[in-house]
Amino acid sequence: MTTETKVGVFVIASLSILGAGAYSIHQIQSGSAQIEYKTRLRYAGGVTSGTAVLFGGIKVGQVIAVGPWSEDPTRIEIAFAVKSGTPLNRKSTATVGTVTVMTAPAIMISTGSNDAGLLSPGSVVPSAETVSLVELQGSVGKLAESADALISELQKEVPALSGDARTLLANLNKITGAQNQKRIDETLASLNTLLEKESPKITQLTDQISELTKHADTVIGSVQPVLTHVDHAVVNVDSTVDALRAPLSKDLADLDSTLQAAHTLVAGVQNIVGSNEDDIGETVRNLRSASENVRALTESIKQRPWSLIRTKQPADRKVPQ
């Protein structure tokens, strides 16, 4: 091998080692141990490969790839890598924004919450949509159209409002004219005269009301003892009623027991009379017959008293012819 060949191989090897070292240093400086994540947005806002990724305003990585999402082409999938140890959590959100008006767009990731768990590598960071310039222009255009319509309506209504305002001003001028002002002055003067004339009567009436209020206080004070006595009387009546309630209840209970016994006795008598009704009727008939016999005997003794001592009755005397 010639010297030139050896020198060439040495130079190539040196350049290779130098390039590998420079690449390693670059990887170390840029954070070689990076973790990839993804997010999906409807508006990328000019994000390309290499766009900075900021976590809480600090640059922690860069965008790797940007393109429509395969499952939903209406959304843009952005793949990015951040330094190992960046605390992306489930409450972190990704948006497209800029640090200043003149700087390039960047992926802004919020710090999230301490209570949320960390995202695993390759996870999808939730996104928060931002309003694009086109949407903003559309909103401004709609607002301008609404403003034009409002101005047109105002142009139609302003003449009528102006007429109403002129009519109102004319009415106000008429109300506040010299003639009405004169009437108002006369009314106020009459009112002042009436007040001056009736002022003594009003004062007298006020004094009478004050005296009446004093008498009312006195009457209320005198009525208070009566109310106290009434309260004591009511208390005494309550006490008396409470004292008599128990004896009255006992007497009523005894009376009820007596009535129940009398009712039972009457029912027994009714049963006895009902069961011996035939015997009682026969006895009454026998007594009636005996009474008739006694009456006949009495009549016979009255007419023939000798029959009590004679066994043979004398013949009836003949009536002289």
Q: What is the residue whose two structure tokens read 């000019």?
A: 46
SS3 247: helix
Nearest C-alpha neighbor of 95 from the set 81, 105, 109? 109
pLDDT (tens, 9 = 90+) of the chain, 321 residues, equals 677 676 677 778 778 787 766 655 555 445 457 899 999 998 888 899 999 999 988 999 999 999 999 999 999 999 999 998 899 999 999 999 887 767 788 999 999 988 888 999 999 999 887 655 556 566 666 776 776 777 777 777 777 777 777 888 877 777 777 777 777 888 888 888 887 887 888 888 888 888 887 777 776 777 677 677 767 777 777 777 777 777 778 888 888 888 888 888 888 777 777 777 777 777 778 888 888 888 877 877 777 766 666 555 556 666 665
Cβ neighbors of 132 (< 8 A, separation 6 or more) are 43, 45
Which residues have C-beta within 8 Å of that of residue 68, sequence separation ≥ 6? Answer: 74, 75, 76, 77
